[in-house]
Homo-oligomer: A and B are copies of this chain.
């Protein structure tokens, strides 16, 4: 395995050798786009998306022919503190629902031709309660990161990263709070639907975790405040970069899991597009912090990679337009120039 890792330092080593954008593919895009039968810029962000696909796939024209979704599932010690409206056994029940084809992500993957794999991570062993100890030991952290690293086949041309884990909007709030500061309340949202006293309790849990672990380096924060599915998503994002696979980030939990990579190595998320903005208020704040403008803003807050899967349709359209449109010369259309 070229990406074999056995400790935190190996992961930091991977971050140091992330490849950059492919400038030849980018230049090929920039040569072709002005020739296509449309006014310059008239396809708006579809143009930026096809260019981004070129630059990070390292080829021109770009394709979205083998999109894959990798959904990681984990359980959380903090779930026992009453941070969720839903009992922790729902994580394993939903993994069974994914296997049976009954969840939203199954319908979305079918709609857009996305190959789906669901990767449950030690669901019978929740993380430690991060208000008292690091959520994961270093060995657990490395194992979860490796599960993500190993999940991305090299012929994938677009990766959707998502998660399932009852309680996991609590680590999702704690991570950016610890990375960037600010009040816990500003980063903590309703998740599956907590309100009133339960939301206040969730906010206290976030604040307590941040108080205990704040000041650690970014990947240490991911180990101490994250959970297995968050760590695995970070691993999948790194694997994609190493294999020249662009990534669509899903919602708040996914973006929070990826944020420590950017904090540890600026530019580490340049191959990632924010697929959508979740209804969790912390997500918009986090995307602003990362300088990523979401493609879709439809009030979704489901997780499961659902927002990113929906954006695969937009990416397919973008690639199809750039690759398939006729040039002014081919079509005999005056270009007005």
A interface, CB within 8 angstroms of B? 36-46, 85-87, 89-90, 93-94, 96-97, 100-104, 106-108, 110-112, 192-193, 279, 295-302, 306, 309-310, 313-314, 316-317, 320-321, 323-326, 330-334, 336
Contact = CB atoms under 8 A, between A and B. Distances in A.
Nearest to A302: B42
Given A86-B336, A313-B317, 18 more contacts: A37-B104, A38-B302, A39-B192, A41-B301, A42-B300, A43-B306, A87-B334, A90-B333, A94-B333, A96-B331, A97-B331, A100-B331, A102-B324, A104-B321, A106-B324, A296-B296, A297-B297, A310-B313
- Copies, count: 2
A300 B193 contact: no
Given A107-B321, A325-B104, A44 B279 contact: yes
A179 B317 CA distance: 35
B334 A90 contact: yes
Nearest to A97: B331
Contacts of A94: 37, 333
Given A103-B37, A317-B108, A298 B45 contact: yes
Q: Which 7 A-B pairs have the closest CB atoms?
A: A102-B326, A44-B299, A313-B313, A44-B300, A42-B302, A107-B320, A86-B336
24 contacts: A38-B302, A39-B193, A42-B300, A43-B302, A44-B279, A45-B300, A89-B334, A93-B331, A93-B332, A94-B333, A97-B326, A97-B332, A100-B331, A102-B326, A102-B330, A103-B331, A107-B325, A108-B320, A108-B321, A110-B324, A111-B320, A297-B297, A313-B313, A313-B316
A54 B204 CA distance: 43
Given A104-B321, A299-B44, A333-B93, A313 B112 contact: yes
A44 B301 contact: yes
A314 B317 contact: no
A313 B299 CA distance: 17
A112 B100 CA distance: 26
A42 B100 contact: no
A49 to B, nearest CB: 9
Contacts of A36: 104
A43 B300 contact: yes
Contacts of A326: 97, 100-103
A100 B324 CA distance: 12
Nearest to A90: B334
